[in-house]
A and B are shown apart, each in its own frame.
Chain A
Amino acid sequence: MSGAIVTSKKVWQRHDRKTQLAVWAAWLFGTAVFVYCFQLISERTIWAFVWDAPAQAADLGARMVPPAWSYIHYLWRPIWDTLNIATLGTIISIVIAVPIAYCAARNTTPSVAFVRPVALFIIVASRSINSLIWALMLVTIVGPGVFAGIIAIGLRSIGFVAKLLYEAIEEIDESQVEAVRSTGASAAQTTVYGIVPQVMPAFAGITVFRWDINIRESTVLGLVGAGGIGLELNAAITQLYWTQVSLMLLVIIGTVILSEWVSAKVRHAII
């Protein structure tokens, strides 16, 4: 009955029969793995604790209020340290990351065969180690305090800033660079006139974004002794001063909101 219609109209489907079957099989497999894993985890979980969790949370919450507002005088200094760790760490990372990004970008690197792999390795090494781990190591090397925190933040940020910056450099419009070069400009002049204006918005965005992340990261660095408000937080938690803990959490949230606001403003102004 439909023979005539089938020959007169072309059938179109997103997937052919084979692909449809494969997609369906993939979903089945995924669901099976999920159910199996859930069982495994369930067997190793003490469910009594989980059912108890809301009550525990409510209890802890009750012990946290009201925040110990009078303690705020002791927090200005640590939060100022935290801001300094983030800001100075970001500045250090930028100073180091810019030349690394220049060497890592395929279109600006002095040598694709030798310099570029080294630059890429530095980027990967910096990115693969969390700032908390950098801080742990640096506290043993340079001793506890703000300085270790600054260096930790700086080392962790190099990879982030350099990676995003070199990607931005690789995406520039080569014809603008070519035009500057064709006037007889030197390599340095070509960089300043042809490349820098093109990557400036990306650079500003990356910097402010990383500063924003670093403020959040530097709040926890104190946990391993690298200065800032994390140090106070750690002390308060171990001594079970929950009202102080809640106050510090509020201060941290306030700082992060402030940094978000500043970075949004700056990004908006530059781009």
Chain B
Amino acid sequence: MLRIKGLTKRYRTGDLALKGIDIEVPDGQVMALIGPSGAGKSTVIRCINRLVEPTAGTITLNDTEIVGLRSGELRRMRRRMGMIFQEYALVERLSVMENVLSGRLGYVGFWQSFMRKFPQSDIDEAFRLLARVGLDHMADKRADELSGGQRQRVGICRALIQNPELLLVDEPTASLDPKTSRQIMRLIKELCGERKLAAIINIHDVMLAQMFAERIVGLKLGEIVYDGPPDKLTPAVLTQIYGEEDWASTIRKADDDAEPVDEIAPATPAETPVIERARLAGLT
């Protein structure tokens, strides 16, 4: 169970990125964090594993306070949280296997890792994970030889070999094509299910968020403006999060049967095509 209370982040430039966020993520829940660029999604995730130092607030993972940990304790804490990155963030010049095993760095000593002498149990687990994502035959390939989807799978293995209690996922599909995006999201969801793993997924793609997350939190200018199930994500809510647009086509089609989108839509239908045309002409 991850508990975030009153999380505030003010960057050195003076920008208030987060204005006292409260989120609770129970074990095994896959939560999507949506919101426009600059809303503070990445900052939330990076505050949790303290790649970014929070200004105020408390974060506890299974009753361990994260804010204020000293370097040694912080390292042990980071082992319990796996992170998956937007541009994969694999070490390009290392092999797939080395990249996966780097997820165990918090558990092995310096010389062990320097000489690449990882315990056999780690290597077994790495092969098992690579096989699970269908990349066991690629173990000795260099990371920069892989395609985008394959790289993200390696990134997922690197996070999972930590045997984490929480998965932090930052825009996992931003550099992937639509089909690969779905495959990656499905894989993350499946793996979370298999391991009863909680996940926070930052994602731009609202449709993907609705398809694969059981809970959606909408962030706008550092504040939570929506927190609820995917099927309650109406055009009104999306307008609140992102601003005025034609949301009818963004909402997942399957929801149409349950809740007719048109009835809820507050935007006047006549106005929408005008906005669309202006946007296409590049005038806005």
Residue numbers of A with Cβ under 8 A of B are 173, 175-176, 178-186, 188-189, 192-194, 197-198, 200-201
Asked if B158 and A183 make an inter-chain contact with CB atoms under 8 angstroms apart, the answer reads yes
B102 within 8 A of A: yes
- Name the contact of A198 in the complex, choosing from B85, B91, B162 (C-beta under 8 A): B91
- Name the contact of B91 in the complex, choosing from A176, A182, A184 (C-beta under 8 A): A176
Enumerate chain A residues within 8 angstroms of B155, measured Cβ to Cβ: 179
Q: Mark B65-100, 1 if CB is under 8 A from A, else 0.
A: 000000000011111011101110111111000100
Assembly CA distance A55 to B12 (angstroms): 72
Chain B: how many interface residues by the 8 Å CB criterion? 33
B105 within 8 A of A: yes
| Contact status of A178 and B92, CB under 8 A, knowing A184-B75, A184-B78, A185-B106 | no
Enumerate chain A residues within 8 angstroms of B158, measured Cβ to Cβ: 179, 183
Asked if B105 and A182 make an inter-chain contact with CB atoms under 8 angstroms apart, the answer reads no
Assembly CA distance A185 to B105 (angstroms): 5
Residue numbers of B with Cβ under 8 A of A are 49, 51, 75-79, 81-83, 85-87, 89-94, 98, 102-107, 110, 113-114, 155, 158, 162, 168
Asked if B110 and A184 make an inter-chain contact with CB atoms under 8 angstroms apart, the answer reads no
A107 to chain B, nearest CB (A): 14
Enumerate chain A residues within 8 angstroms of B168, measured Cβ to Cβ: 182
Which 4 residue pairs are nearest across A and B when measured between Cβ atoms? Answer: A184-B106, A185-B105, A184-B79, A179-B89
Assembly CA distance A182 to B102 (angstroms): 10
Assembly CA distance A193 to B89 (angstroms): 12
Selected A-B contacts with CB under 8 Å, 13 pairs: A175-B87, A176-B89, A176-B90, A178-B85, A179-B83, A179-B89, A179-B155, A183-B83, A183-B158, A184-B77, A185-B75, A188-B110, A193-B98
Q: Give chain A's interface secondary structure class.
A: helix
Asked if B91 and A194 make an inter-chain contact with CB atoms under 8 angstroms apart, the answer reads yes
Asked if A189 and B113 make an inter-chain contact with CB atoms under 8 angstroms apart, the answer reads yes
- Name the contact of A183 in the complex, choosing from B79, B90, B94 (C-beta under 8 A): B79
In this complex, what residue of A is CB-closest to B103?
A: A183
Enumerate chain B residues within 8 angstroms of A181, measured Cβ to Cβ: 51, 78
Enumerate chain A residues within 8 angstroms of B110, measured Cβ to Cβ: 186, 188-189, 192
A169 to chain B, nearest CB (A): 14
Asked if B113 and A176 make an inter-chain contact with CB atoms under 8 angstroms apart, the answer reads no
Asked if A175 and B51 make an inter-chain contact with CB atoms under 8 angstroms apart, the answer reads no
Enumerate chain B residues within 8 angstroms of A198, measured Cβ to Cβ: 91-93
Asked if B105 and A184 make an inter-chain contact with CB atoms under 8 angstroms apart, the answer reads yes
Asked if B78 and A183 make an inter-chain contact with CB atoms under 8 angstroms apart, the answer reads yes
Enumerate chain A residues within 8 angstroms of B75, measured Cβ to Cβ: 184-186
- Name the contact of B105 in the complex, choosing from A175, A193, A197, A201 (C-beta under 8 A): A193
Enumerate chain A residues within 8 angstroms of B107, measured Cβ to Cβ: 184
Enumerate chain A residues within 8 angstroms of B98, measured Cβ to Cβ: 193
